[in-house]
């Protein structure tokens, strides 16, 4: 099986954002005519995490715009952050006979495997974006489901390790370095993997003390309340480690209301508190550039949403089109982490989603 991995070309000259929607034509090396509107309207069912999620919205809108340029149509399905709901929606989309392709932000990787296999068996094209669909959500170097058309996945284990290493660096010279971890959900397989890898790294640093592990559903108001409680018990808190930019914004309000500085560096005694973001949102990028955050794990929902939609349309119109199998980090112009340094080197990157 021929598999496309476009990392070199993306790193060499990727245009960022919703305006850069004709990506996979460059990636595959195919002529523009192959993906152009040939009179056949390809209909894609876009199975999102949740309609209430900004990350989902930006990815969907980019996919929709890319498809429309090629004469395709994308219809949104609200997964409500629930694996069972999304599974039922996928089955309904397949049974309806209205769609030639599925583009999926999977709420549960393993749960979606049978329905993806069913779609492929019926001749449909399928894209797994953000995370792979398969039994091992960290095995991003190969297709999670044999025959899948597009897989643009984030290796959340590597992301968790990188986040842990950032935390360890910020805690150097502080003992104890008190750390609060704020994830989205302890019932999410993705967040559990991230949390596990973060803690593995932190455990290798005896000066680091984890004072709490919270999961507030990426809801800023809840994170603010939790952070306020943590600060009352630990006024010398040094660092907040998150799996979502939203969590840093919630924490920031609590930190400032406690009379402390929210900064890109930590300080012994907790006078300055740093927060590590995850997602590289537009607002998060501005916080890094302003010197208020040290970093955020960089994700590219508009880029992968558009690239997947275009490649699905190409693949429906030309079944000989090889699969697109790659990772977000390979496609990202700044690699895995958005820092002041990487953003300065790539000023075109401004983030790809609204919190």
More confident residue, 175 or 13: 175
State pLDDT tens for residues 66-104: 999 999 999 999 999 999 999 999 999 999 999 999 999
CATH topology classification for 157-298: Rossmann fold (3.40.50)
The domain locations on the chain are: 7-154+300-334, 157-298
Q: How confident is the model at residue 16 (pLDDT cuts 50, 70, 90)?
A: very low
Entry pTM: 0.86
What is residue 339's three-state secondary structure?
strand
Q: Which residue has the higher pLDDT, 315 or 270?
A: 315
CA distance 265 to 171: 9
Tell me how many helices (H) and strands (E) the chain has.
Answer: 14, 13
Tokens of 113: 């495997």
Domain spanning 7-154+300-334: CATH superfamily: Response regulator (3.40.50.2300)
Tell me whether the CATH fold assigned to 7-154+300-334 matches the one assigned to 157-298.
yes
Do the Cβ atoms of 184 and 217 come closer than 8 Å?
A: yes
pLDDT recorded at residue 32: 39
Element at 219 (helix H, strand E)? none
Q: Say if residue 274 is preceded by a cis peptide, omega within 30 of 0.
A: no
């Amino acid at each position: 099986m021929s598999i496309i991995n476009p990392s070199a070309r993306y790193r060499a000259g990727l245009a960022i954002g919703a305006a850069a929607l004709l990506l996979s034509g460059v990636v595959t090396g195919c002529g523009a005519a192959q993906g152009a509107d040939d009179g056949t309207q390809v209909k894609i069912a876009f199975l999102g995490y949740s309609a209430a999620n900004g990350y989902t919205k930006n990815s969907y809108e980019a996919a929709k715009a890319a498809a429309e340029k090629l004469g395709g149509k994308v219809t949104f399905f609200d997964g409500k952050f629930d694996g069972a709901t999304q599974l039922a929606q996928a089955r309904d989309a397949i049974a309806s006979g209205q769609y030639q392709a599925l583009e999926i932000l999977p709420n549960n990787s393993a749960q979606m495997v049978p329905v993806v296999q069913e779609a492929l068996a019926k001749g449909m094209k399928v894209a797994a974006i953000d995370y792979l669909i398969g039994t091992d959500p960290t095995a991003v170097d190969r297709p999670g489901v044999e025959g899948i058309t597009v897989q643009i996945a984030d290796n959340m284990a590597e992301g968790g390790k990188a986040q842990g290493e950032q935390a360890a660096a910020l805690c150097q010279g502080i003992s104890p370095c008190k750390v609060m971890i704020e994830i989205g959900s302890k019932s999410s397989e993705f967040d559990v993997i991230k949390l596990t890898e973060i803690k593995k790294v932190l455990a290798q640093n005896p000066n680091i003390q984890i004072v709490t592990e919270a999961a507030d559903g990426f809801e800023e108001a809840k994170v603010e309340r939790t952070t306020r409680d943590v600060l009352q018990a630990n006024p010398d808190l040094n660092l907040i480690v998150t799996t979502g930019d939203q969590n840093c914004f919630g924490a920031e309000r609590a930190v400032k209301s406690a009379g402390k500085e929210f900064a890109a560096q930590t300080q012994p005694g907790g006078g300055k508190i740093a927060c590590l973001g995850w997602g590289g949102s537009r607002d998060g990028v501005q916080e890094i550039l302003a010197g208020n955050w040290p970093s955020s794990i960089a994700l590219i929902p508009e880029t992968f949403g558009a690239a997947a939609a275009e490649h699905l349309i190409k693949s429906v119109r030309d079944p000989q089109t090889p699969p697109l199998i790659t990772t977000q980090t390979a496609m990202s112009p700044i690699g895995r982490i958005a820092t002041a340094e990487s953003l300065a080197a790539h000023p075109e990157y401004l983030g790809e989603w609204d919190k």
